[in-house]
Amino acid sequence: MADQIKVLLFAQFKERLGCGEIMWDASPNLTLDGLKQQLLAQSEQWQSALEGQCLMALNQTVSQGQTPVNAGDEVALFPPVTGG
Amino acid sequence: MNNCDCASSTCVHVMEEDFDVKELYDELSADAIAGAVVQFVGLVRDFNQGLMVTGLTLEHYPGMTENALKDIARQAKERWALRRVTIIHRVGELELNDQIVYVGVSAQHREAAFAACDYIMDYLKNRAPFWKKENTIEGERWVTQEEKDVEALNKW
């Protein structure tokens, strides 16, 4: 979808939500923080799913909340990493 | 099978299969200029964050993971004079004592190889998008990030 944003969720977030990927409508002047607020505003399920520290990546690079998000972007939300 | 026949001097693999340290060593050491090879292997440990562990599942972010690991290898190469860097991280279901992660570095001299291997592991633990879910005697749980791993970056 050219006018949408792909949103990916990982680990606890994905498990609590029961879903690892959604498509989200882009809106003007949207930032990563703005997108996260829109997602949280959907339901209590989203609020509890994203509980705890939440990192965000834009197009596979960890990015700050004020980073602009546009249609066609891939955004990922995930807890702190625990590999190694 | 390590799939580690990359022509380039940086080799990154994220895979379910196990890896053979001897094979990886042979690849790193087949280099007349390299006078030092340092390898690190991380294993599934039986006790973590207060509970007995019986196994774990590793999830990752395909695409970003490989890029993050290549980026870490590139930064290490900018910082030290290295010959080759190999990073392998397993994903999926792992059992007690299984190999999880491998970092191998070759260099002309040992100081660079030791430091770069340590640096790569510290950054991997903080930057590469992997998440561990442990099976413990009290059920499954997601592993939480440890403060000591975050603080480890301060030494660089």
Tell me which residue in B63, B89, B144 faces A83 most closely, judged by beta carbons. B89
Rounded to whole angstroms, how far apart are CA atoms B78 and A49? 39
Chain A positions touching B133 (Cβ under 8 A) are: 11
State pLDDT tens for residues A34-83.
999 999 999 999 999 999 999 999 999 999 999 999 999 999 999 999 99
**What three-state secondary structure class fits B102?**
strand
Chain A positions touching B100 (Cβ under 8 A) are: 84
Its ipTM equals 0.94
Rounded to whole angstroms, how far apart are CA atoms A78 and A63? 12
Q: DSSP string of B33-49? A: T--EEEEEEEE--SEET
Q: Residue B32 has what pLDDT?
A: 93
CA-based nearest residue to B41, from B113, B109, B111, B117: B117
Model-level pTM?
0.94
Determine the residue of chain A that is closest to B44 in CA distance: A84
Rounded to whole angstroms, how far apart are CA atoms B132 and B145? 10
> Residue B27 belongs to what H/E stretch?
helix B21-29
| B41: exposed, middle or buried (Cβ count in 10 Å: 0-12, 13-18, 19+) | middle
> For each of chain B's 156 residues, which pLDDT tens digit applies?
344 446 579 999 999 999 999 999 999 999 999 999 999 999 999 888 888 999 999 999 999 999 999 999 999 999 999 999 999 999 999 999 999 999 999 999 999 999 999 999 999 999 999 999 999 989 999 999 999 999 999 999
